[in-house]
Structure 1
Amino acid sequence: MDIESAQHWWQPVPGWLNTASYGLPPQQAIDELAVATDDWRTGRVSWEGWDTSTARARAAFARIVGVDATDVAVGSQVSQLLAPVAAAIPDRSRVVCVDIDFTSNLFPWMVHADRGVRVRTVPVSGLVEAAADADVVAFSLVQSATGEVADYTEVCRVARAAGALTVVDATQACGWLPFDAALADVVVVGAYKWLMSPRGTGFAYLSPEVRDRFRPIAAGWYAGDDPHGSYYGLPLRLATTARRFDISPAWLAWVGTAPALEVVEQLGVAAIHDHDLSLANRFRAGLGLPPGDSAIVCVDVPGAEDRLAAAGVRAAVRAGRVRASFHVYNTVADVDLALAALTR
């Protein structure tokens, strides 16, 4: 199905240009959540049926980013998914990050300063060069503050040649930007933005080549080889796959996540990319800016925040600039509404 034909699956109030803060759910997710919420209200069912959504979502995510589902762990937030990775790096490791990166991919490394872990920050444009002299390169594929897209393939290539661990936060990319997760060692994604899921679900691709270095420090029953046989007592019996890093899922959040990811699959990330980029570049052109490569556009326009709000356009302000973000449910009318407000 093409995107224009599928847009009836969403019902946004015109002017929502803030997917970089949170994505809007497709009707399929709302329908499944409505059934589950009513079942919860009445106590009609046991929880195991809701948990099948976790397996569906894991499988869909793996297909979207081109990896095996056995190499994907599920969790709740990016920093939680990164915690066992950061805890496992050797003392005095040299970590390179981006100077304006979201702190969920900065703080997990910085809290290990007491054991000599040193975090150095560089601009996005300096990542390739810095990757050649690091033990860990941790960066967002797309920057939250600016929309800048990193040279993912080249950073991973240089880091691998240098023996550095590559850790990528793809939260602002996954769902609109095609990429091969297997190029990196670790890829973490919060699903509530471009994957249009309820907040509180996330994924980590953990390459089998590096996974054994990490300790599953949040292990519980859901990390067991057989979760339903891991409720009580000894011995320790963890999964041999990336599932050993799972945390027990918040059921209803995963009920909404599985159908949302399946919609992304159905439409195709490549098609979504073309749609989103076309709208972003229409917006840029209307402001006299050259074309870009990101679905996130940050602009400096006097009084922009107030002008957009008065026109009913919901965008964000990040690092002192207005940030507009364009996704599958947006239309040319949304772009033109924002442009009319900003260019009056």
Structure 2
Amino acid sequence: MIGKTVPMSADWPGRLWDPSPGWLNTASYGLPPRPAYEALTAALDDWRHGRTDWMPWHVQSDRARAGFAELVGADASAVTIGASVSGLLAPVAAALPEGSRVVVPEVEFTSNLFPWQVHADRGVEVVTVPLRELPGAIDARTTLVAFSLVQSATGEIAPVAEVLAAAEEHSVLTSVDATQAAGWLPLDATRFDVVVAAAYKWLMAPRGAAFGYLSERIQERTRPLAAGWCAAEEPHSSYYGPMRLAESARRFDISPAWFSHVGAAASLRLINDIGVKRIRDHNVRLANRFLTELGEQPGDSAIVTVDRPGAAEALAGAGVRTSVRGGRVRASFHVYTTDADVDLALEALRPLPR
């Protein structure tokens, strides 16, 4: 029952999801739980037949906002909704003073890199360093440090405590891309100035929904460059102006992709009902079983990589869906992954030479 704690048992993923065996690719996109899929198809059917106006879809954006806020331990008034990570970061980057220095890991998804780099004409300098050297690269010259909480290519988890300590010492702003973390890794967004996440991966929503936590000091210094009617204090009385922007982070909202938020609201409700810590334990257990039975060292991430000749072809031939990043097979394990999925992958990979 959605809205109550969801009990876990050996067969519980099968009661809420419908994956074909061998889906180990959530780092590319997540699979919708039945409540989200059913809510989305019902909304699409209403759209198809014109049985309703758009308000029932529109209100789901605020439910999704509240769900994300609960997930990351923030107040909903500090959460803005968008469509992509780069879109959420764009106004933050535009607010950086001329000559700012931004420190970023050298292997970073471009949605958390290009928004800073496009301001080179204003003298904004982007410095890239190895992830483990990120804390040491933060100094008095640094304006902002931007990094992914979980690295998309390797699954490596950032050294958050060290980065935050260095940022606090030098009064540096912190911006985190939680796209590969939110939904399986516990996260307190209020420790950072900015937290952004696309919802179509571990949050298991349709592509087109993204969320951002903005601290008060970021809100105060950032202009809502994409402001439209949804950014107004009273959106439904602001179709034609004058401009009265919301006092909360809603002034950074863009008009929501209705159907994406219909799915996002239901998925976030289920994630919160299950509990992120329980999801993390499930995911990491399966990831570590996969690694150890292949003779690899276990870790603390739901995303892992293996480097064996012919691995991608062997997995594909066995019906296991993964990705290749940097020449290595990337496998990702989420709430609907089962031991049977791991068995299928292991059977394909064990015969291969190391």
Given the two structures, how large is their TM-score scaled by the length of structure 2?
Answer: 0.95
Residues 23, 192 of structure 1: 8 Å contact kept: yes
Partner of 1:136: 144
For the aligned residue pairs, the C-alpha RMSD in angstroms reads 0.9
SS of equivalent residue, structure 1 residue 18: coil
Do structure 1's residue 2 and structure 2's residue 14 form an aligned pair? no
Aligned to 2:3: none
Alpha-carbon distance between aligned partners in 2 of 1:113 and 1:128, rounded to the nearest angstrom: 23
Query: Could you say what secondary structure the match of 1:58 adopts?
Result: helix
Q: Is residue 325 from structure 1 mapped to residue 332 from structure 2 by the alignment?
A: yes
Q: Deviations over 1:80-117 (max 9, x none)?
A: 00000000001111100011110000000000000100
Q: Check the 8 A contact 2:149/2:181 in 1, yes or no.
A: yes
Structure 1 residue ranges without an equivalent (≥5): none
1:26-62 CA-partner distances (Å, limit 9, x unpaired): 0000111121111101111010111111111100110
Map 1:153-168 onto structure 2 (within 5 A).
Answer: 153-168=161-176
The one of 265, 272, 276 aligned to 2:279: 272
Partner SS for 1:209: helix
TM-score, reference length from structure 1: 0.98
CA contact (8 A) 1:3 1:328 kept: no
Are 1:96 and 1:130, in contact at CA under 8 Å, matched by a contact in 2? yes
Aligned AA for 1:194?
A: W
> How high is the sequence identity, in percent, across the aligned residues?
59
Give the drift of 1:167.
0.3
Task: Give the drift of 1:6.
Answer: 3.2
Equivalent pair of 1:3/1:272 in contact (CA under 8 Å): no
Distance 2:52 2:264 in 1: 20
C-alpha displacement at 1:154, in angstroms? 2.4
CA distance in 1, matches of 2:71, 2:205: 15
2:92 and 2:218 in contact (8 A); partners too:
no
Give the aligned partner of residue 244 of structure 2.
237
**Alignment size in residue pairs:** 343
Give the distance between the partners of 2:77 and 2:35, measured in 1 at CA: 26
Mapped pair 1:91 → 2:98: yes
2: CA distance, partners of 1:31 / 1:153: 40
Q: Distance in 2 between matches of 1:138 and 1:256?
A: 29
Question: Does 1:194 find its partner at 2:202?
Answer: yes
User: In the TM superposition, what is the alpha-carbon distance from 1:233 to its structure 2 partner?
Assistant: 3.1
SS of the residue aligned with 2:255? coil
Q: 1:203 aligned to 2:211? A: yes
| Of 197, 214, 224, the match for 1:216 | 224
CA distance in 2, matches of 1:295, 1:146: 10
Among 168, 177, 181, the alignment partner of 1:173 is 181
Moved over 4 A (4+): none
Deviation digits for residues 232-280 of structure 1 (CA, Å, limit 9, x no counterpart): 032x210010000000001111111100000100110000000000000
Q: CA deviation at 1:72?
A: 0.1
Unaligned residue ranges in structure 2 (runs of 5+): 1-5
> 2:41 and 2:321 mapped to 1: Cα distance?
26
- Alpha-carbon distance between aligned partners in 2 of 1:73 and 1:154, rounded to the nearest angstrom: 27
User: Out of 36, 60, 65, which is 1:58 matched to?
Assistant: 65
For residues 46 and 111 of structure 1, what CA distance do their matches in structure 2 show? 40
Whole-Å separation in 2 of the counterparts to 1:97 and 1:131: 10
